[in-house]
Structure 1
Amino acid sequence: MKVSKHNAEHYIWGDICDGWHLVKGENLSIIHERMPINTSEVKHYHQNARQFFFVLSGTATLEVGDKEIVLHQQEGIEVPPLTPHQMFNKSQDEVEFLVISQPNSKGDRIVVD
């Protein structure tokens, strides 16, 4: 069966950001996310999950450890387990991106204060 954000399981995070579960397995998760202007995720890391963030449209800023990385459309970056990271949309347009996690990151997130 074909899957897209139009027929995938949808959820809202951070009050106004969207996520669509494109693949929701124990060993692999692929989520299409949308962040409006001036939104951000909380800083966190995953104990087991390795993640890959890939920007579909817009410009995202990902803080990884102590580095700030700007990701433009069609660019991505891998974040290994135990690495604090935080996604921001500091641009003047919404951003859409994929988050690919192996294994699934559900219940694996530790918030960093």
Structure 2
Amino acid sequence: MKVSTKINSEHYNWGEGCDGWHLVKSPQLSVIQERVPVGLCEVTHYHEKAEQFFFVLSGVATLIVEGKAHSLNPTEGFHVKANTTHQLKNDGDQELVFIVTSTPPSHGDRVEARA
């Protein structure tokens, strides 16, 4: 066991300029800190098995769930159940930093939604 930080956690890039750090990476649980620059977003998708909880640390997230936009400010979170389309965007004027917790882990369980 260890104290987890961005500095000692596995890092990856996603999208065009976004970052993720695996704070917890086990077969049952994933906890990731992510950074999204202003104006960037992920594609609309869903997870067949994983449910997720998004929790904003700084900035403002726009989380579109089943077509409905939700604005998440620092210290606010949102639970997204499995098989639910969603898209996270940074429409704000500052970098977005958030934690996403997934159980089971969502990597390899992502299906892009059809337009």
Provide TM-score, normalisation by structure 1: 0.98
Q: Number of aligned residue pairs: give it.
A: 113
Alignment of 1:56-67 (within 5 A): 56-67=57-68
What is the DSSP-based 3-state SS (H/G/I as helix, E as strand, rest coil) of the residue aligned with 2:46? strand
CA RMSD of aligned residues (A): 0.6
1:46 aligned residue: 47
What is the alpha-carbon distance in structure 2 between the residues aligned to residue 42 and residue 33 of structure 1? 15
What is the DSSP-based 3-state SS (H/G/I as helix, E as strand, rest coil) of the residue aligned with 1:78? strand
Which aligned runs of 4 or more in structure 1 are off by greater than 6 angstroms? none
Q: Is the 8 A contact 2:16 2:40 kept in 1?
A: no
What is the alpha-carbon distance in structure 2 between the residues aligned to residue 95 and residue 66 of structure 1? 21
1:3-23: CA deviations, max 9, x gaps?
111111000000200000000
Percent sequence identity over aligned pairs: 50
1:33-66: CA deviations, max 9, x gaps?
0000000001000000010000000100000002
Shift of 1:25: 0.7
What is the alpha-carbon distance in structure 1 between the residues aligned to residue 36 and residue 107 of structure 2? 20
What is the alpha-carbon distance in structure 2 between the residues aligned to residue 97 and residue 46 of structure 1? 19
For 2:66, the aligned partner's letter is G
2:89 aligned residue: 88
Provide TM-score, normalisation by structure 2: 0.96
What is the alpha-carbon distance in structure 2 between the residues aligned to residue 42 and residue 6 of structure 1? 27
What is the alpha-carbon distance in structure 2 between the residues aligned to residue 39 and residue 6 of structure 1? 23
**1:97 is the counterpart of 2:81:** no
For 2:84, the aligned partner's letter is T
